[in-house]
């Protein structure tokens, strides 16, 4: 696989659902006296903010000095990301997509300080306007709003000017992962037994369900990447979109998984239908058959396991619970197959009667 194969970073939050945001006052002046990385951040912030400000730090699983911050002062409230140089490059590229989507009227978060501020040779700081809002909830209203917004996003991305580059990189990535799946069966890799059990029996051509009728999509619609403000549904973290050449149904299946199936309540059917019906009112895309969503979700879980293997080979060792997470999601798709069939069929019936 190519050496420049992009590998995502470990998640900022563990689990499927982001916690309530825990912003804590951060005394950067005091911290800078004991930690060089904080000293670098102190110098950069005081160089770029002439007015007094309060610094808040979000509790995440990032190592020092990486993570999320807010700088709040009179007349400004900024959301800051401290990331690696590689991450910064990717986020700056993704900001071009965000800028274009903003021109199309989509809710996105825009970078304010491209190409960012360098803290040291390894860390960069990127600044965004802080958007007052919240993560999504397991409610009919939120699912309807997300369904409509995602339909508009897919329509907009279908006209993105640099589609060819996304298609090339996305196709290369997909074919590389298929090749990796074939190799895994022959290289006696040191993998958890449950991972081997899945990958050794999963046909590589079954991954192609992810790229049927492909176009540019968001690519990573977990709950932490969708933000609800008073006015709109905002899509965050578009860096996956740079290589996300997938079936639009991949995005929809992913939403059903993360916003519906992984919640411990009895409203799965109602919420899933509300989401799909709202999407179907705005877009002609449809799931092809009742098994389609479950097939997509199992392909996504296999794909994620392959990316974790690639991360391990590049010494970006995945967290142990990441293996467990995607094994669980592979099994969840099968466990919820009948429910998914019902959601898809009921939503399709509703759409055809409109």
Strand residue runs (E) in 211-346? 215-216, 226-228, 233-235, 245-246
- Mean pLDDT of the region 14-42: 84
Whether residue 13 is contained in a domain is answered as no
Whether residue 51 is found in the same domain as residue 179: no
Whether residue 52 is contained in a domain is answered as yes
Whether residue 254 is contained in a domain is answered as yes
Whether residue 189 is found in the same domain as residue 328: yes
| pLDDT in the model for residue 13 | 61
Whether residue 32 is found in the same domain as residue 143: no
Whether residue 119 is found in the same domain as residue 210: no
**Distance from C-alpha of 332 to C-alpha of 176, rounded to nearest angstrom:** 26
Whether residue 55 is contained in a domain is answered as yes
Whether residue 256 is found in the same domain as residue 112: no
| pLDDT in the model for residue 237 | 93
Cβ(252)–Cβ(150) below 8 Å: yes
**Are β-strands 53-58 and 67-73 bridged in parallel, bridged antiparallel, or unpaired?**
antiparallel
Q: Is residue 3 predicted with pLDDT exceeding 50?
A: no
Whether residue 118 is found in the same domain as residue 179: no
Whether residue 191 is contained in a domain is answered as yes
Instruction: Write the CB contacts of 346 (distance below 8 Å, at least 6 apart in sequence).
Output: 269, 273
- Mean pLDDT of the region 167-193: 90
Whether residue 11 is contained in a domain is answered as no
| pLDDT in the model for residue 310 | 87
Whether residue 7 is contained in a domain is answered as no
| pLDDT in the model for residue 115 | 87
Cβ(181)–Cβ(204) below 8 Å: yes
| pLDDT in the model for residue 186 | 81
Render pLDDT for 212-263 as a digit per residue (tens, 0 to 9): 999 999 999 999 999 999 999 999 999 999 999 999 999 999 999 999 999 8
Whether residue 116 is found in the same domain as residue 219: no
Q: Is the peptide bond before 208 cis (omega within 30 degrees of 0)?
A: no
Whether residue 213 is found in the same domain as residue 199: yes
Phi, psi of 190 (to 5 degrees): -80, 85
- Mean pLDDT of the region 14-30: 82
Q: Return the closest-CA partner of residue 285 out of 205, 208, 217, 353.
A: 217
Instruction: Report the number of distinct structural domains present in the chain.
Output: 2
Domain boundary among 130, 153, 174: 130
**CB-side neighbour CA atoms (13 Å) of 83:** 20
- Domain that includes residue 71, residue range: 23-130
Q: Return the closest-CA partner of residue 214 out of 243, 247, 242.
A: 247
Whether residue 88 is found in the same domain as residue 201: no
Whether residue 201 is found in the same domain as residue 161: yes
Cβ(119)–Cβ(66) below 8 Å: no
Higher pLDDT, 19 or 205: 205
Domain boundary among 80, 101, 130: 130
Residue 129, strand partner residues? 78
| pLDDT in the model for residue 279 | 98
CATH number at residue 84: 3.30.200.20
Angle 129-135-136 from CA coordinates, rounded to 5°:
135
Render pLDDT for 75-119 as a digit per residue (tens, 0 to 9): 999 999 999 998 999 999 999 999 999 999 999 999 999 888 998
Give the DSSP letter of residue 87.
H
Render pLDDT for 290-349 as a digit per residue (tens, 0 to 9): 999 999 999 999 999 999 998 888 766 667 788 999 999 999 999 999 999 999 999 999
Q: Is residue 352 predicted with pLDDT exceeding 80?
A: no
Residue 78, strand partner residues? 71, 129
- Burial degree of 345 (CB within 10 A; 0-12, 13-18, 19+): middle
Whether residue 165 is found in the same domain as residue 119: no
Look over the chain and give the mean of its residue pLDDT values, rounded to a whole number: 91
Whether residue 4 is contained in a domain is answered as no
**Distance from C-alpha of 293 to C-alpha of 331, rounded to nearest angstrom:** 13
> Over pLDDT 70: what percentage of the chain?
94
Confidence at 134, pLDDT banded by 50, 70, 90: very high
Total H helices, total E strands in the chain: 11, 11
């Amino acid at each position: 696989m190519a050496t420049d194969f992009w590998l995502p970073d470990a998640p900022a939050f563990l689990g499927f659902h982001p916690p309530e945001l825990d912003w804590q006052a951060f005394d950067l002046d005091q911290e800078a006296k004991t930690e060089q990385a904080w000293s670098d951040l102190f110098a950069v912030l005081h160089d770029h903010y002439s007015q007094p400000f309060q610094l808040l730090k979000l509790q995440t699983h990032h190592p020092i000095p990486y993570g999320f911050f807010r700088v709040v002062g009179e007349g400004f409230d900024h959301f800051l990301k401290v990331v690696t140089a590689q991450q910064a490059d990717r986020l700056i590229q993704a900001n071009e997509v965000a800028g274009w989507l903003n021109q199309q009227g989509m809710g996105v978060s825009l970078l304010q300080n491209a190409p960012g501020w360098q803290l040291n040779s390894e860390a960069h700081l990127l600044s965004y306007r802080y958007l007052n809002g919240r993560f999504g909830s397991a409610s009919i209203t939120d699912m309807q709003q997300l369904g409509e917004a995602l339909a508009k996003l897919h329509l907009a991305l279908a006209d993105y000017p640099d589609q060819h580059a996304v298609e090339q990189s996305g196709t290369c990535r997909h074919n590389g992962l298929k090749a990796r799946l074939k190799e895994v069966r022959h290289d006696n890799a040191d993998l958890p037994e449950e991972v081997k059990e899945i990958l050794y029996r999963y046909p590589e051509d079954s991954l192609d369900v992810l790229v049927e009728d492909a176009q540019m999509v968001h690519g990573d619609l977990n709950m932490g990447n969708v933000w609800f403000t008073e006015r709109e549904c905002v899509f965050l973290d578009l860096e996956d979109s740079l290589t996300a050449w997938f079936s639009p149904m991949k995005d929809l299946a992913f939403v059903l998984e993360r916003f519906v199936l992984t919640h411990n309540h009895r409203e799965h059917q109602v919420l899933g239908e509300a989401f799909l019906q709202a999407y179907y009112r705005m877009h002609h895309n449809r799931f092809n058959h009742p098994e389609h969503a479950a097939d997509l979700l199992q392909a996504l879980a296999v794909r994620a396991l392959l990316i974790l293997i690639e991360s391990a080979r590049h010494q970006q060792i995945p967290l142990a619970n990441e293996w467990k997470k995607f094994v669980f999601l592979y099994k969840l798709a099968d466990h919820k197959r009948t429910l998914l069939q019902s959601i898809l069929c009921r939503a399709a019936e509703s759409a055809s009667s409109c």
